[in-house]
Amino acid sequence: MSVVVIMPAYNAAKTLEVTYASIPKDCVDKIILTDDVSKDETVEIAQKLGLKTIIHVQNRGYGGNQKTSYLEALKDGAEIVVMLHPDNQYDATKIPALIEPIRRGEFDMMIGSRFLGKDTLEGGMPFYKFIGNRFLTWAENLVLGQNLSEYHSGFRAYSRRFLTTIPFLLNSDDFVFDSEVLAQATAFDFKIGEIAVPTRYFEEASSINFKRSVVYGLGTLGTMVKYWLFKMGWLKSDQFSRSLPEVMSRYHWAEIEESAS
């Protein structure tokens, strides 16, 4: 199965090379980096490494970056898409373990969880983020009826069927995009699995500050309320009911369909 790694990048010049070097090349067919108007040398380094590099004209945010990346991966014929942050916060050597359950058809989406292994606080996660993560994960499990150890990891893998079904183009361009994807996974009855990954926090690793974390937390709770209202039949939402080909240009969808043949 064709495996494409996508890297949503913003000011990742200091960590991109070491992240790239740790990717197991024997199980990855292509790496796509989408640069969201970095102010450093991210693009130049990506091009030097030979990565397929997409450069946004304007900053579109973390969610907007993922939208561009997933569409490009699907047009390139990806059967499994791995999202890996280029800041080396997640252990890329875990990619084979992350994608194997998708290869076997056991799961449609896999998450690299920082809460299945050793103490995440020992890995440097700030205490306020630890508390926020635990509360939001509890709330999301309650609303979505899942039993996941973490919802907020940026190390994920998706099957082609998953990404060509959920209408991710309707999601936020901000960080809450990730929470919306998990709500959509539940709405469309996809199976979600997890593996343990180590926690890495260091100066060069990208991390949203306290204010942005609060905004993200409120956005995640808002997504859960919206999904709950939809589930109860009190709210109509294209975000949880319409498939990807129903919400995008038929010309672009034709490219995606053609790439699968």
Looking at residue 202, what is its pLDDT? 66
Mean pLDDT of 17-29: 97
When comparing pLDDT for 154 and 118, which is higher? 154
Give residue 149's pLDDT band: very low, low, confident or very high (50, 70, 90). very high
Looking at residue 205, what is its pLDDT? 61
CATH of the domain at 131: 3.90.550.10
pLDDT tens for each residue of 173-226: 999 999 999 999 999 999 999 999 987 776 666 667 888 899 999 999 999 999
Q: How far is 103 from 126, CA to CA, in rounded Å?
A: 34
Total structural domains within the chain:
1
The amino acid occupying position 196 is A
Looking at residue 203, what is its pLDDT? 66
Taking CA atoms, 133 is separated from 61, 221, 228, in Å, by: 21, 12, 20
pLDDT tens for each residue of 152-161: 999 999 999 9
When comparing pLDDT for 118 and 147, which is higher? 147
Give residue 129's pLDDT band: very low, low, confident or very high (50, 70, 90). confident
Query: Residue 243 pLDDT more than 80?
Result: yes
Surface-to-core class of residue 227, CB atoms within 10 Å of its CB (0-12 exposed, 13-18 middle, 19+ buried): buried
3-9, strands of its sheet edge to edge: 52-55, 30-35, 3-9, 80-83, 156-159, 109-113, 192-196
Q: Which domain holds residue 184?
A: 3-259
Mean pLDDT of 248-257: 97
pTM: 0.95
Mean pLDDT of 48-71: 98
Residues 6+ apart with CB under 8 A from 80: 1, 2, 3, 4, 99, 102, 103, 157, 158, 159, 160
pLDDT tens for each residue of 38-50: 999 999 999 999 9
Query: Residue 117 pLDDT more than 90?
Result: no
